[in-house]
Amino acid sequence: MLKMQNIRKSYRTDTIETHALRDFSLEVNEGEFVSVTGPSGSGKTTFLNIAGLLETPTGGQYLLDNEDIGNLNDRDRSRLRNEKIGFIFQGFNLIPDLNLFDNVDVPLRYRGFNGKERKKRIEKALEQVGLAARAKHLPAQLSGGQQQRVAIARALAGEPRFLLADEPTGNLDSLMARQVMELLEFINEWGTTIIMVTHDPDLARRAHRNIQIVDGQVADLQQGAAERAQTATA
């Protein structure tokens, strides 16, 4: 469902050009749970931004559901983000002025659902993350783990085809991190494709597949391991 071929992304300032991604190719299938790891500055966030249509690549081809993203304008990319992609951010990124109900409502309003439909979806999503009773609370009144669950509810309410999680447990203690991880696994079991960027090797291992990004390129661990095994037998 997601296919990147030779994606390049460079940032240019007056004096220097930085290559965040170089010849980056990756394919993610429907229903997969892929974790993305790599050292700081390796290009994880750039990959996530491009995968989530938050940034456009400098070169290469990106197909999402067989649709070439390179041909889309800003309005179409916004629509696609809204309809197909759910985001979970490290810092939760809830809107502090809005209560939980209204926070989950944000993407649904952009989708153009009517009030009744939105209400149904919001209540269901909050129910799924176990926070239905707190719908009128403000984010500041919740713990970090609860806030991240609201963010997950917000990502789920639009029933996206795939979920992009940027260090979803990075700001949480281990107990809360486990709860959030279990929630993601549950969501994946129900068919949503998930790409999760993480620093945590334990979490990364729980995914179906782990991609490591080094220097803006995919370092395929399994292939590397296979080559090493071959060398050893020879």
Partner 1 sequence: MLELRPILSALWRHKISALLIAVQLGLTLAIVGNATVVIQERMDTIARPTGVAVEDIVTANFMPIPKDYDRMEAFRLDLDMMRQLPGVVAATVSRAPLAGGGSSAGFHTKPNQEIGATNSATFRVDEHFIDALGMRLVAGRNFTANEIREIGRESTWQPDTTVITQQLADKLFAGGEALGKSIYYGGGDHPMEIVGIVERNLGPWPNSPIAGNSIFLPMIMDTQWFDYIIRAEPGQRDAVAKLLQEKLAERDPRRVVDVKTLEEQLNRSYAGDNTMITVLSGVVGLLTFIVALGIVGLTVFWITQRQKQIGVRRALGATRTAISRYFLLENLLIAASGIAIGVAAAQIFNHFLASEFDQPALPLSTTLTCALILLGVSLAAALVPALRAANISPATATRSV
State the residues that interact with partner 1 by CB under 8 A: 45, 48-49, 52-55, 74-75, 78-79, 81-83, 87, 89-91, 93, 95-99, 102, 105-107, 109-112, 154, 158, 166
Could you tell me the smallest distance in angstroms from the CB atom of residue 233 to partner 1? Answer: 43
Residue 86 to residue 52: CA distance in whole angstroms: 9
37 touches 220 (CB < 8 A): no
DSSP state of 140: G
> Rg (Cα) of the chain, in Å, rounded?
19
Nearer to partner 1, 94 or 184 (CB): 94
Kindly state the smallest distance separating residue 188's Cβ from partner 1, in Å: 21
Q: Among residues 99 and 212, whose Cβ is nearest to partner 1?
A: 99
Nearest to 147 by CA among 118, 121, 179, 123: 179
Interatomic CA distance for residues 200 and 125, integer angstroms: 27
Distance CA 233, CA 49 (A): 41
Choose between 91 and 130: whose C-beta lies nearer to partner 1.
91
Nearest distance in Å: CB 189, partner 1 = 24
Nearer of residues 33 and 101 to partner 1, judged by Cβ: 101
Nearer to partner 1 (CB atom), residue 136 or residue 205: 136
Question: In the bound complex, what is the minimum distance in angstroms from residue 222's beta carbon to partner 1?
Answer: 27
Quote the crossing angle between the two packed helices 144-157 and 100-111, to the nearest 10°: 20
Query: For the chain, what's the residue count?
Result: 234
Nearer to partner 1, 170 or 220 (CB): 170
Q: Tokens representing 102?
A: 């209204």
Minimal distance in Å, beta carbon 21 to partner 1?
13
Residues ≥6 apart with Cβ < 8 Å to 78: 110
Closest CA to 24 of 234, 220, 228, 231: 220
Smallest gap from Cβ 41 to partner 1, in A, equals: 13
